[in-house]
Copies of this chain bind each other. A is one copy, B any other.
Amino acid sequence: MPTIHEVAKRAGVGSITVSRVINNSGYISTETRERVEKAIAELGYVPNTLARSLRSRRTNTVGLMITDITNPFFTTLARGVEDAANEAGYTVIFCNTDESAAKEEKYLNVLLQKQVDGLLLVPTQSRVNSIQQIQKHGTPVVVLDRRIPEVDVDTVRCDSVDGAYQLSKYLVSLGHQQIAIMSGAVGVSTADDRVDGYRKALEEARILIDEHYIFRGDFTPDSGYSMTIQAINLPLRPTALIAANNFITIGAMKALQEVEMDVPDDIALVGFDDLPPAMVTFPFFTVASQPAYQMGTRAMQLLLERLEGKEMDAFQEIILPTHLIIRRSSG
């Protein structure tokens, strides 16, 4: 692996001149530039970003921590981040936390050690520590998808309360009175907010809220499955189910198939997060759809603004709307 010095020697110039050619900085005579470029080509020289970054204190790299890259919602979001980053000349390092605080902690350290210029984070729980650690370290950070109460930090997320509110209200408008909601873990803001939106809609409709109708598990198919089994075995069986994310929806559907209950004839089922069109053969579920890709790009743009040092007066909270897509599963 040739170094900049070897290129310089071969081209008969100083190494800084080679540096200037590589980075298109400063003034170089066309003739010198050509000599240098020739030497670079001949030696197959590849600049060492490590050394460059060590000196310049910029890595042109950002870290993205999501909870599960296997979930299409996060993949789409990641894709949005990557596209925006790429356009601005940044590389993205992805990490999966699997909703584990320990993994989050670990990856956070890896990324900070790698001197990423900025960080995009879907926090595992509404954990304050990680964010403060990052801020203390001086690295710009944007929180994605979830709220972190009581910390001042840039955030890009969707309006989960409103999404759940719309879903619930729609079910009520169809005449449902017994509506159950199956949500994620307590402390995960999206899971909490969706329950809040549900409560809001029911209160507005003057429907008494039965706490037995509110299930809290995880954002996984397994959890969706077991919450559904519990729900349909309630003394007063609900006539409609709200699944608080796509994986819960899948698990719920599996459970209902097993007990041979038809959707929507025997029970209505609506969910959060659409699956991407590219993965769906029979669009079936009524859902509150979130603009995952836009979340990614907006977050990256916000981070870039911070990186460019545009000192905005305060931290921003960008809240994107959710859209109700009505299909057959709601009857």
Give me the interface of A with B, judged by CB distance under 8 Å: 1, 44, 46-51, 53-54, 59, 61, 69-72, 75-76, 78-79, 82, 91-96, 109-110, 112-115, 133, 136-138, 220-221, 246-247, 249-250, 253-254, 257, 275-282, 284
**Interface residue from B53, B82, B221 paired with A50 (Cβ < 8 Å):** B53
Complex CA–CA separation, A79 to B96 (angstroms)? 9
* Residue contacts A-B, CB under 8 angstroms, 10 given: A49-B114, A69-B69, A70-B72, A70-B79, A70-B276, A71-B278, A82-B96, A93-B93, A254-B281, A279-B279
Decide: A280 near B138, CB < 8 A? Known: A109-B46, A113-B46.
no
Chain B, residue nearest A96 (CB): B82
**What distance in Å separates the Cβ of A239 from its nearest Cβ neighbour in chain B?**
20
Complex CA–CA separation, A204 to B93 (angstroms)? 48
A50-B54, A69-B75, A254-B281 known; 20 new pairs, CB 8 Å cut-off, are: A44-B136, A44-B137, A46-B137, A47-B113, A48-B54, A49-B113, A50-B53, A50-B114, A50-B115, A69-B78, A70-B79, A72-B72, A72-B279, A91-B93, A91-B110, A92-B93, A220-B278, A250-B278, A250-B281, A282-B282
**Inter-chain contacts of A69 with B (CB < 8 A):** 69, 75, 78-79, 82
**Inter-chain contacts of A253 with B (CB < 8 A):** 281-282
Complex CA–CA separation, A113 to B282 (angstroms)? 45
Complex CA–CA separation, A50 to B284 (angstroms)? 50
**Inter-chain contacts of A46 with B (CB < 8 A):** 109, 112-113, 137
**What distance in Å separates the Cβ of A48 from its nearest Cβ neighbour in chain B?**
6
**Interface residue from B51, B94, B279 paired with A250 (Cβ < 8 Å):** B279
**Inter-chain contacts of A54 with B (CB < 8 A):** 48, 50-51, 54
Chain B, residue nearest A109 (CB): B46
Chain B, residue nearest A107 (CB): B91
10 A-B pairs closest in CB distance: A49-B113, A253-B281, A50-B54, A49-B114, A94-B94, A46-B112, A221-B278, A50-B50, A50-B53, A93-B93
Chain B, residue nearest A106 (CB): B86
**Inter-chain contacts of A113 with B (CB < 8 A):** 46-49
Decide: A49 near B115, CB < 8 A? Known: A75-B70, A78-B69.
yes
Asked if residues B250 and A280 are in contact (CB atoms below 8 Å), the reply is yes
Chain B, residue nearest A72 (CB): B279
Asked if residues B1 and A138 are in contact (CB atoms below 8 Å), the reply is yes
Chain B, residue nearest A221 (CB): B278
